[in-house]
């Protein structure tokens, strides 16, 4: 009797692991035209998605209405582990603090170099340095650059992070 229970538990764990790994950054985490359409104010049939591999671990995903300039843009970086992704995000914060102290930004940033954002992913950072919201969820880091504005980016980041 104990053996079938172990087998059933093992099967459930394997199935859960498969679900957790289902999001593929090369496929924009499964964020499809139907997901982008509400952010673009159009139907999914008019949405054009472009995916570009920037490095072996970094992809850019952009969505546009027809041939217009993309209005939804985010990058996804896959780290080997959640721990490494967290360390990379901490280095990003340090880099933002340094950039915020340079002449180009000194005394011009309304909330400092960055602010931590709660309620999206495992951790998130907003910065006026480059006007982007960066979210870490597990071993994936998502940086939203369009649409512009913290609230619009936060809404999009929540939708993208939900795919991971």
pLDDT digits (tens, 9 = 90+) for 16-25: 344 445 589 8
Q: At what angle do helices 33-40 and 150-161 cross, to 10 degrees?
A: 160
Whether the predicted model's global pTM rises above the 0.85 cut: no
Per residue in 56-103, pLDDT (tens digit) is 999 999 999 988 888 999 999 999 999 999 999 999 999 998 888 876
What are the sequence ranges of the domains in the chain? 23-161
**Element containing residue 91 per DSSP (H, E):** helix 82-100
Give helix then strand counts, H and E, for the chain: 4, 7
């Amino acid at each position: 009797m104990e053996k079938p229970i172990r087998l059933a538990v093992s099967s459930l764990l394997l199935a859960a692991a498969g679900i957790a790994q289902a999001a593929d950054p090369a496929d924009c985490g499964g964020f499809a035209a139907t997901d982008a359409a509400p952010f673009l104010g159009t139907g999914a049939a008019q949405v054009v998605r472009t995916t570009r591999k920037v490095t072996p671990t970094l992809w850019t995903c952009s969505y546009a209405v027809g041939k217009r300039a993309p209005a939804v843009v985010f990058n996804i970086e896959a780290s080997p582990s959640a721990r490494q992704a967290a360390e990379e995000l901490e280095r990003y914060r340090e880099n933002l603090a340094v950039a915020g102290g340079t002449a180009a930004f000194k005394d011009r940033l309304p909330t400092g170099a960055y602010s931590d954002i709660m309620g999206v992913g495992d951790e998130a950072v907003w910065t006026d340095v480059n006007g982007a919201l960066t979210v870490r969820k597990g071993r994936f880091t998502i940086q939203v650059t369009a649409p512009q504005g913290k609230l619009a980016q936060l809404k999009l980041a929540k939708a993208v992070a939900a795919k991971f």
